[in-house]
Chain A
């Protein structure tokens, strides 16, 4: 850990204007990711701005009939919020699939979006990593890459974005509201995270000094037919090898609208509009789900230890879509019912 200074801010304006536009200043929210990275000497901010006292904790309905999630609302408060449970159960389920209750109690919605990859090499300063130090090389490409990406990778980086919450937000077409010195802007969820290309050290399109103020959900919540399938190595406290957020609007047997987002396979939550369009108007049956899965994975590229993810992702897509279709009256979600759902 390096030396740093620390200020606690109470207003948004204060927070934004304290930021000197260089990489040395960082916001700190729940700290569940940033502090770990500082201790491992990976993030080395010289100044921390504590934003936890800003007035960004609310979860409230928007004029457009959607829901606004404050950037500082805790992951657990979001997942257990009545309106989220009722109208966006897909999001509730995805959040509850992540981390552990203790972490979710600390983690904020804004921080969740900006958590960094769990690539082993990124976390170990003894090894080369382009994401940590551009130009050093990527140890994972020829190393132990079991947890790495199969879609949208580059020769510079094959890391994944680790979030569960973001996979549901991608499927739900959320919008990220941000504010910086130059004013406010909105970023479509799909444009928020980026692919590694040749600049693996940049995870998102957020500009230096910009603060996430909220995440906005559109009115459509797909609360009747949704599923979040998380395939992982143990039943809790493990990141997804592959995860799928699936949401359907059904018109009798056929699909009026489909949303599919994948986690654990790319540098960002992976959406494939082509496959979603393909499903539109089709009968909601495994055969069509399989075809959609094939479309999504057709460009996939595996590495030595993660080849299995390609077939696994296909099966997880079919599973998620099938269960979304078959969903009966869902019960309120909490971490216990969540676990029961996944109890074998």
Chain B
């Protein structure tokens, strides 16, 4: 039986705005995070980072630091020996081509803020103090960190990391663009952004005899951390258990093991003691970031507004040691119907740390440029921006020439526009005003992948009617705990309170890291399957017990709901699920979803699987002083089945706010004279505060998908941010008549 067609009873949880099952733990401070686990004798490590972007360490003096009572050891490249040099040992599931950064490997400096030493002491304060006594001399080499100055030095990556799709051009874009009646051409630019989750990266390594480690790590994938640690330090998997039950946000930054994991394990193994290393906020700017990207868009249309040709070039930075890739330009070939598309994606290696996936990597960047250019085209054509999108709407994926498993972007446009009141918009820029403020309305489309990755789940039902389901997945604040509990409870017809979902433990069955908005679909399907297996087992037992009403009934003819199995034909024929186990005398029923491959793979392969959105934004701009406020946002999202409208809405709200941030605030400023990010704290690295955030309306349009997975779930983590920054930029144009193509749009660019 499919979860979505159980009859409507109390235990039908899918689609209901169930409160977070871990909510109470979180608001009462009982949810423990990686840096909060304690044990007696725990040592603390403080990391020292390089002030220079490139060069060599010429000398290290640790004697003053070591003189401080309570300081255990200072680790640097000079005394860390015997670790593998082999790149493969340091690879993680992101699988970036190149040579991963190996902490303390040599005296070479590859990027500013590179970790160069770890001071371990009996207390955090001691470690911090001693770290100021370590003297390190550097010799700076020539370096280059400016993308703008090196746009001509780009190369086209032959391959990329996990999930990279090489962009494919089609048709004859150049010719089509030449022949187009109306053409726009524009370049867009955005700087670096750092994830800055509330929780700093931290690992607490609990050391047991014989190099057995229990590690509490901030990560989006415990198995990723576990495999990294075992390979780098030559440990057996059974001796390394990684736990991450709660994560205070990650947004992609936890997709790769960060260096505090390496450092804390190194110190724990060396000192044979438990160690914690927590990064500082400043150090949260020392690892990956959304890459600085320059883009050029050319759009050509006929007089009626049909797209004739698209050309999209993106040039991003990467480090000199790894090739970090994103799918930036691909979206321009997929969002609208167009025969002639030229796509070009290049990378410029610079003396920076490797960029890192950040919420909607690639799409947040590429769709931003595409959708700003679409707005520019609408104005060049003198037609309404929404109308332009509708004229070029595509029912099939024009890049793959195949149908979508489902696509209801149309309703996103319609309902979004209606709720926003788009029809009342006056077309001309600078035509709407409120006192000293110019009002602007802008819109944008959004698109993201609906990914499925192989995942497993394990479930155990006991005679007290309690179900425990587990999987090595993560909940980075997205609501995984809650929706998995909902899926399991509904599938077996058990009350929510009788179901416990566990995650974030490398001893659980396999799940990939939580990324790409794939968890709800991937792990959700595994949970569904394993609960269906349990259900079948329960039903078999139910048929066997004395006087069973179901001797001659098939499982299709009964309903599992409210803790009971009930005949569909005769509601009198009913038995409690717990009773089945009790009367059968079994201790428990346990099942694993064994099938690592996805069912339906072949069928799914015939379809493109994506989520879509339409975003409508109102801004007000102080005409004299340039201060911009976003005053209203309507975000309409098509993402298949919405398991939990409440947690889903939260995901989209977060995405919208981040989109506003991308449009107006966020920028880690790279000083190219020093090769260093300068505004590395939350006072100067701006994100919107409450006072900046408007009313945000989130609409989930109906979208039934019978191909993607049995639940019809597509995932929601990223789609919320995509298209928001472009809608804001387009609204700023409508308000001011100024096209700002360099993000963030700070007030000096419009006043």
User: A residues near B, CB below 8 A?
Assistant: 1-3, 41, 118, 120-121, 123-127, 139, 142-144, 146, 229, 231-238, 241, 308, 311-312, 315-316, 318-319, 339, 344
Chain B residues 680-705 with CB under 8 Å of chain A are 680-681, 683-684, 686, 688-692
Closest 6 CB pairs of A and B: A126-B51, A308-B748, A235-B691, A344-B620, A120-B678, A236-B691
Residues on B with beta carbons closer than 8 Å to the beta carbon of A231? 625-627, 747
Contact A127 B691 (CB under 8 A): no
Partner of B673, one of A2, A139, A234: A139
A311 to chain B, nearest CB (A): 8
Contact B671 A3 (CB under 8 A): no
Contact A234 B748 (CB under 8 A): no
A312 to B751, CA, bound (A): 8
For B, the interface residue count at a CB cutoff of 8 angstroms equals 40
For the complex, is B674 an interface residue (Cβ under 8 Å from A)?
yes
- Given A126-B112, A312-B747: 10 more A-B contacts, CB < 8 Å: A120-B684, A127-B674, A143-B674, A231-B626, A232-B627, A234-B665, A312-B626, A312-B748, A315-B625, A339-B691
Contact A238 B686 (CB under 8 A): yes
Residue of B nearest to A126 (CB): B51
Contact B669 A236 (CB under 8 A): no
Contact B678 A144 (CB under 8 A): yes
Contact B51 A319 (CB under 8 A): no
A144 to B626, CA, bound (A): 21
Most buried by B among A126, A143, A236, A344: A344
User: B residues near A, CB below 8 A?
Assistant: 51-52, 112, 125, 128-129, 132, 434, 437, 620, 622, 624-627, 629, 631, 664-665, 669, 671, 673-674, 676, 678-681, 683-684, 686, 688-692, 746-748, 751
Contact B627 A127 (CB under 8 A): no
B603 to chain A, nearest CB (A): 48
Contact A142 B673 (CB under 8 A): yes
Partner of B690, one of A125, A143, A236: A236
Contact B689 A235 (CB under 8 A): yes
Residues on B with beta carbons closer than 8 Å to the beta carbon of A308? 748, 751
Contact B631 A126 (CB under 8 A): no
Residues on B with beta carbons closer than 8 Å to the beta carbon of A312? 625-626, 747-748, 751
With A139-B674, A344-B620 known as contacts, the answer to whether A234 contacts B129 (CB < 8 A) is no
Residue of A nearest to B688 (CB): A234
Residues on B with beta carbons closer than 8 Å to the beta carbon of A2? 129, 132
Residue of B nearest to A40 (CB): B282
Residues on B with beta carbons closer than 8 Å to the beta carbon of A344? 434, 437, 620, 622, 629, 631
Residues on A with beta carbons closer than 8 Å to the beta carbon of B747? 231, 233, 241, 312
Residues on B with beta carbons closer than 8 Å to the beta carbon of A237? 683, 689
Residues on B with beta carbons closer than 8 Å to the beta carbon of A126? 51-52, 112, 674, 676
Residues on B with beta carbons closer than 8 Å to the beta carbon of A311? 751
Residues on B with beta carbons closer than 8 Å to the beta carbon of A120? 669, 678-679, 684
Contact B622 A233 (CB under 8 A): no
Most buried by B among A125, A142, A237, A339: A237
A198 to chain B, nearest CB (A): 22
A104 to B624, CA, bound (A): 29
Contact A41 B686 (CB under 8 A): no
Residue of A nearest to B439 (CB): A344
Residue of A nearest to B619 (CB): A344
B199 to chain A, nearest CB (A): 19
Partner of B129, one of A3, A127, A142, A316: A3
Residues on B with beta carbons closer than 8 Å to the beta carbon of A229? 625
A311 to B624, CA, bound (A): 10
A163 to chain B, nearest CB (A): 14
A-B contact list, 12 entries, CB within 8 Å: A3-B129, A124-B676, A124-B678, A143-B674, A144-B679, A236-B690, A241-B747, A241-B748, A308-B748, A308-B751, A312-B751, A315-B751
Partner of A234, one of B125, B624, B671, B692: B692
Partner of A144, one of B129, B669, B689: B669
B629 to chain A, nearest CB (A): 5
A142 to B52, CA, bound (A): 17
A329 to chain B, nearest CB (A): 19
Partner of B624, one of A124, A139, A319, A339: A319
Residues on A with beta carbons closer than 8 Å to the beta carbon of B681? 123
B440 to chain A, nearest CB (A): 12
A41 to B49, CA, bound (A): 14
A146 to B684, CA, bound (A): 12
Residues on A with beta carbons closer than 8 Å to the beta carbon of B673? 139, 142-143
Residues on A with beta carbons closer than 8 Å to the beta carbon of B664? 234
A19 to B665, CA, bound (A): 44
Residues on A with beta carbons closer than 8 Å to the beta carbon of B434? 344
Contact A118 B689 (CB under 8 A): no
A223 to chain B, nearest CB (A): 24
B145 to chain A, nearest CB (A): 13
B634 to chain A, nearest CB (A): 18
Residues on B with beta carbons closer than 8 Å to the beta carbon of A319? 624-625
Contact A234 B678 (CB under 8 A): no
A96 to chain B, nearest CB (A): 12
Residue of A nearest to B436 (CB): A319
A319 to B436, CA, bound (A): 10
Residue of B nearest to A100 (CB): B689
B528 to chain A, nearest CB (A): 43
A143 to B671, CA, bound (A): 6
Residue of B nearest to A236 (CB): B691
A234 to B434, CA, bound (A): 20
Residues on A with beta carbons closer than 8 Å to the beta carbon of B128? 1
A120 to B680, CA, bound (A): 8
A157 to B424, CA, bound (A): 52
Residues on B with beta carbons closer than 8 Å to the beta carbon of A1? 125, 128-129, 132
A150 to chain B, nearest CB (A): 13
Contact A124 B680 (CB under 8 A): yes
A114 to chain B, nearest CB (A): 18
Residue of B nearest to A3 (CB): B129
Residue of A nearest to B132 (CB): A41
A343 to chain B, nearest CB (A): 8
A295 to chain B, nearest CB (A): 19
